[in-house]
Amino acid sequence: MGVEGGMKCVRFLVFFFNFIFWLCGIALIALGVWVQIKLNDSIHMTNVSTSGVPIVILIVGVIVFFIAFFGCCGAWKENYCMVTTFAILLTLIFLVEIAAAIAGYIFKNQIRKGIDDEIRKDMHGYSRNGTFKHDLDTLQTDFSCCGAANYTDWFTDPAVVNHTVPSSCCKPNATDCTKNPTPDKVFQEGCVSKIERWLKKHILIVAGVALGIAFFELLGIIFACCLMKGIRSGYEVM
């Protein structure tokens, strides 16, 4: 069955938009992996709300990747079942993205609390657990921060004695910092606020990518429905 006129254009557009989806899926997978590695190197994550953000990004990327590949094949082969399945899956993904955006806004405060809990747990086990020590030292060095809310958190934790702070709290070239942690020698800002700002910065990137994907999804759904109609009627409508 040949493809002529407007339907040929629709078929090309469906294929093109799916190729864009496919690239977006790869970008989301890469971003999700990078954020996950970055947080895992900094925090010993066990809280679902803390580790959920990069995992959601990664899962969405994988789903978009496979749906886009499926849609490309359906458009190329002019297969009605494949194009229909693609349109249904794309609509479901679009609805899930809306639900995820709403849930993310509602539970945004839980993410901050999850980060705070993880850091304080690492602080409490700092002197007894090598993994906690490594994670927290990496976090404080990379983000130039100290403690959860600020450096005085190290003084209130019962597991820390003599009002000392780790060397990772010290500013560059600071001397006698761990035993004499004055404000001019240690990082003033806590790690929770630093990580929160870092996440917000990268979530803006994710939000921009998501908006772009949503726009292409809507166009993809429209063109997929047109292609479905054309394939079913043997392109007579065009």
Average pLDDT, integer, range 190-210 = 78
Which pLDDT tens digit goes with each residue over 140-170? 898 899 989 988 888 876 655 566 788 889 9
pLDDT-derived band of residue 117, with 50, 70 and 90 as boundaries? confident
Q: Contact 206/31 with Cβ under 8 angstroms?
A: yes
User: Is residue 177's pLDDT more than 70?
Assistant: yes
Average pLDDT, integer, range 27-34 = 76
Kindly give, in sequence order, each residue whose CB lies less than 8 Å from that of residue 137, ignoring residues fewer than 6 positions away. Answer: 166, 167, 168
Interatomic CA distance for residues 8 and 78, integer angstroms = 10
- Whole-prediction pTM: 0.56
User: Is residue 214's pLDDT more than 70?
Assistant: yes
pLDDT score of 111? 74
pLDDT score of 157? 67
pLDDT score of 235? 46
Kindly give, in sequence order, each residue whose CB lies less than 8 Å from that of residue 168, ignoring residues fewer than 6 positions away. Answer: 136, 137, 138, 140, 141, 146
Q: Contact 86/224 with Cβ under 8 angstroms?
A: yes
User: Is residue 3's pLDDT more than 50?
Assistant: no
pLDDT score of 236? 43
> Percentage of residues in the chain with pLDDT exceeding 90?
3
Interatomic CA distance for residues 175 and 177, integer angstroms = 5
Which pLDDT tens digit goes with each residue over 49-70? 455 556 766 777 777 777 777 7
| Least confident residue range of 70-84, 87-101, 138-152, 174-188 | 70-84
pLDDT-derived band of residue 195, with 50, 70 and 90 as boundaries? confident
Interatomic CA distance for residues 206 and 22, integer angstroms = 16
Q: Contact 122/157 with Cβ under 8 angstroms?
A: no
